Amino acid sequence: MHREAQIESVKEKEWLYKKLTKDRKHTQEWTAYNTAQTNEKLIFMRLLKDLCSNIEQPKYKFGRPTLPFSDMLFGSIMKTYTGFSLRRFMSDMKIAKEFGLIEKVPCYSSLSNFMNKEGIKEILEQLITISSLPLKEVEKDFAVDSSGFSTSRFARWFDYKWRKEKKQKIWLKAHLISGVKTNIITGVKITEGNKNDSPQLKELVKKTAENFKISEVSGDKAYSSRKNLEIIEKAGGVPYIPFKSNVTGRRDSGSGIWKKMYHFFMYKQMEFLEHYHKRSNSETIFHMIKTKFGSTIKSKKQAAQFNELLIKVLCHNICCVIQEVCELGIKAKFKLEESIKV
């Protein structure tokens, strides 16, 4: 009975916190915002040129000479950014050639074949990490979440109970960890839509800890486990993940972070919720990506679908950097000393 009363108290205080913070107004630096939006495409193309220049051209072996790898990557990312079809997008590639951003204008079919390569998935993940580095001194608090993106593929099966064929659209899930101040994405993992969220946290936190100093990580109940709390603590952060209703806090094994955060959650809910609700920025990020670059994946083959979704995340990161260049005056430098080998 006492346990049920505690749960009700938590729900009441969470409701009160949302009510108190509902009318808070978030100021917008409109001058910086207008500058970033009106010049975004020009700055985006220049930053993308620097980003793609980190890619080392594969050595020529035999056969027909291949187009510059950086140009193909530039074209694939710009195509997703504009949202045009491959044929209509060719005009943008010609403009990029005139500005000296690429060496050659590839054929639209070459770009389509390039997107189907499985090998560029790892390269795109590295570019996403590089694109987040200009903000590593700004971000210390992070949030983790996931969301689905629909594809053009369908799963079909015969239902013997109803004696008819059924189909369901296949979708992919993007698992992201992001900074709560600038919405920059510091780690990403793309999986099939039926994969659980909790096991993905380890890799996301590890990727972020390689370049960022983690102060705290917030997430919803899907990530609530002793192992995940220990992973965040080991990375130097404080885990603000709410506990499920059947948790008692009586776990003596491990580092003790489970008990510590459980008592914090139960007896200082208002303070806990103030940190926990930073995870709402994750929902904002998914809204930004889906609104600007689309919630559906247009590619037909699975490898291309994974690559397209990673490119959407990369485009979001570059746009976030452009906004902070105009608002905070940071220097966006994507050039590395060592090139990324293909």
Distance spanning both ends of the chain, measured CA to CA: 61
**Gyration radius of the chain over CA positions:** 23
* 20 assigned to some structural domain: no
Q: Are residues 313 and 294 in contact, defined by beta-carbon separation less than 8 angstroms?
A: no
* 2 assigned to some structural domain: no
Torsion of CA 263, 265, 269, 272, to 10 degrees: 120
* 337 assigned to some structural domain: no
Q: pLDDT truncated to tens, each residue of the chain (342 aa)?
A: 444 445 455 566 565 555 545 555 556 778 888 888 899 999 999 999 999 988 887 776 666 667 888 999 999 999 999 999 999 999 999 999 999 999 999 999 999 999 999 889 999 999 999 999 999 999 999 999 999 999 887 777 677 777 778 777 888 999 999 999 999 999 999 999 889 999 999 999 999 999 999 999 999 999 999 999 999 999 999 999 999 888 876 655 545 898 899 989 988 989 999 999 999 999 999 999 999 999 999 998 999 999 999 999 999 999 999 999 988 888 877 766 566 766
* 341 assigned to some structural domain: no
| CA–CA gap between residue 168 and residue 222 (Å, rounded) | 24
Sorted by sequence, the CB contacts under 8 Å of residue 70 that are 6+ apart come out as 52, 53, 55, 57, 102
* 24 assigned to some structural domain: no
* 333 assigned to some structural domain: no
* Number of domains, the chain: 1
Domain that holds residue 312: 29-57+66-327
